[in-house]
Amino acid sequence: MKILQIANKIPYPPKDGGAIGIHFFTEMFLQRGYEVHVLAMNPSRQYVQPEEIDEAYRKQVHFVSVTVDTGIKPLDALTNLFTEESYNVVRFVNEEFRNALIGILKAQTFDIIQLESIFVAPYLETIRQYSKAKVVLRAHNIEHTIWERLAGSSSKPIKKWYLKLLAKRLKKFELDKLNQYDGILSITKEEIAKMQQMGCTVPVALIPFGVDFSRYDKPSEVKADKTSVFSLAAMDWQPNIEGIKWFLDNVWMKVLQQEPEAVFHLAGRNMPDEFYKLTMPNLQVHGEVPDAIGFMQANHIMVAPLLAGGGMRVKIVEGMALGKPIVSTTIGAEGVACTNGRDIMLADSAEGFATAIVSLLRDSVLASNISKEAKTLASNIYSTNAIGDKLEQFYTSLINQK
């Protein structure tokens, strides 16, 4: 099988959840002997230097990247208000990227073209013009629901209005494109049901993110600090920023009142300056860490305090694969086949979230049991082989359709 993945960010090295999710599929395709091509934007905000992409990756993958400035610009955002277009999407429309895509499609034929998120869906018309491949959207989320939730949680009238506008326009774009693909990969049952409610008639497969356990099942050289709580997430994604602000404003001091020795380690790519300036007690802001797995192994309790979002949190699955006890909001754990109190702790109030963290800090048996069950869950459901078999069947059926 010959596959082209089109992405709005470079997936290698896999440093954040989005990149890890894209690269997981690349690795899975390669393991099955497919010929894999990747065309990716190299956004200025998440710019990857050429030397960061090692020779082993380039030898395995036919890789092309195009530098694209996808950053939010106040003047462009203001001008966009007087149009009907989704500002979330138009930032990813780029003529140089389109020309690179045309060049690849003229030179190669593919069985499957996998769009990594709706933000590369504007290129669907170009693909149809130059290729007969089956085009599949890998829906990382139903994007407009994220912005609806952000609007719902905002207390500032102007911000709420603007977030609602972004959500409305993004929803229209998603609806317009929904039945133009040959198939869709969704990562949760809930989002499949949502797509069907939206009027989806194309084939949809439940294909979650998975993990290659060879990367996670190695003994750690560092013993985890049992007083530590940590978060590792892409800090240029608004739901992560809002969630961490909520955690620091409402949860962390409640934890320290009961466990004054606890330390919160905050890490993630593109950490906003405002977090470095905080003077809260027992808070260490790391920014981007060179070894994400090593960072998680060195710390104890993982938190995912999301108030908005969609799809499935890659970092939760990674944390489970490493046997981390995890505390999350219900929204944060959406899409993960977890059970509260068995393989994860769920809480949606500040008091409940703090209580769950304190319980895990104080009760080593509880923390150990949660860890073991989490690792078992990740191994049984989110392994490369199980997901790969299901995806191959789906793609074969699409290719065989006339």
| pLDDT per position as a tens digit, 137-156 | 999 778 888 888 888 888 88
Looking at the structure, tell me whether residues 176 and 253 fall in a common domain.
no
Domain co-membership, 120 together with 7: yes
- Are residues 192 and 144 both part of a single domain? yes
Q: What is the DSSP letter of 307?
A: S
Same domain, 237 and 220: yes
Q: What pLDDT, on the 0 to 100 scale, is given for residue 138?
A: 95
25 and 87: one domain? yes
pLDDT at 309: 66
* Amino acid letter for position 165: L
8 A C-beta contact, residue 185 and residue 209: no
CA–CA distance, 46 with 270 (Å, rounded to integer): 8
Instruction: Examine the domain organization and report whether 188 and 226 are in the same domain.
Output: no
First-last CA distance in the chain? 17
Q: Cα-atom radius of gyration of the chain, to the nearest Å?
A: 21
Residue 310's pLDDT is: 60
pLDDT computed for residue 379 by the predictor:
84
User: Which residues of the chain have a pLDDT value below 70?
Assistant: 309-312
396/273 same-domain check: no
Structural domain that includes position 287: 214-381
Q: Are residues 295 and 315 in the same domain?
A: yes
- 228 and 268 in a common domain: yes
- How crowded is the C-beta side of 151, counted as CA atoms within 13 Å? 15
The CATH number given to whatever domain includes residue 127 is: 3.40.50.2000
Q: Describe the crossing of helices 17-31 and 384-400 by its angle, rounded to 10 degrees.
A: 70
Tens digit of each residue's pLDDT (9 = 90 or more) over 216-256: 777 777 788 999 999 999 898 888 999 999 999 999 999 99
Say whether both 69 and 175 belong to one domain.
yes
Query: Among candidates 358, 354, 300, which has minimal Cα distance to 325?
Result: 300
Distance CA(253)–CA(266), nearest Å, equals 15
What per-residue confidence (pLDDT) applies to 116? 96
Same domain, yes or no: 395 and 287: no
Retrieve residue 355's tokens. 């209580």
Express each pLDDT in 252-284 by its tens digit. 999 999 999 999 999 998 999 999 999 999 999
Question: Which stretch of DSSP H or E encloses residue 170?
Answer: helix 157-177
Closest-CA residue to 386 (of 219, 216, 213, 217):
213
185 and 312 assigned to the same domain? no
Domain count, the chain: 2
Q: DSSP readout, 80-137?
A: HTTSSS-HHHHTT--HHHHHHHHHHHHH---SEEEEESGGGGGGHHHHHHH--SEEEE
pLDDT in the model for residue 68: 94
